[in-house]
Amino acid sequence: MSSRWKPSVTVAAVIESNGRFLLVEEHTPEGLRLNNPAGHLDPGESPQQGAVREALEETARIFVPDRLVGIYLARFQRPSRDEDVTYLRFAYGGSAGEADPARALDTSIVRTLWMTLDEVRASRDRHRSALVLQCIEDFAAGRRFPLDMVFCDPTVFEPEVKR
């Protein structure tokens, strides 16, 4: 019996202010890497809600999405752990307020940093994946889709019970 392929669904926040993009530096099995505030979609939440949650957990900032930047598919292989994962990423663009100094960042996050597009491009070898730059490039190019482009059925929040 073959197993069913299941991509890992992730969400990301692309946050720009005064020509700089908010990134996180985080511990990964490959060492310290740069990433958009991002993570896995949790059960019972929409992709947009997941992006807001992840941004808060990783940056201590309230993220307010105003657009869907894009939906991305990428494959990552980690031979050291015999992992081969395909990620389906929903990237949202928007703004964020100031960091809450009383809020701790996720344990894997070392720090947040603001980088220009040129600095993000120059740090490509430190990115967690190629999607980090691709999402920012798409945002900078003006890619913008309405938030309601991703329909989330009410059963996501309260599953129907079949009797």
Query: SS3 string of the chain?
Result: CCCCCCCEEEEEEEEEECCEEEEEEEEECCEEEEECCEEECCCCCCHHHHHHHHHHHHHCCCEEEEEEEEEEEEEEEEHHHCEEEEEEEEEEEEEECCCCCCCCCCCCEEEEEEEEHHHHHHCHHHECCHHHHHHHHHHHCCCCECHHHCCCCHHHCCCCCCC
- For 55-88, write each residue's pLDDT tens digit: 999 999 999 999 999 999 999 987 777 888 999 9
Average pLDDT of the residues in 150-161: 90
Q: Domain coordinates of the chain in residue numbers?
A: 8-148
The class (CATH top level) of 8-148 is alpha beta
What's the whole-model pTM score?
A: 0.93
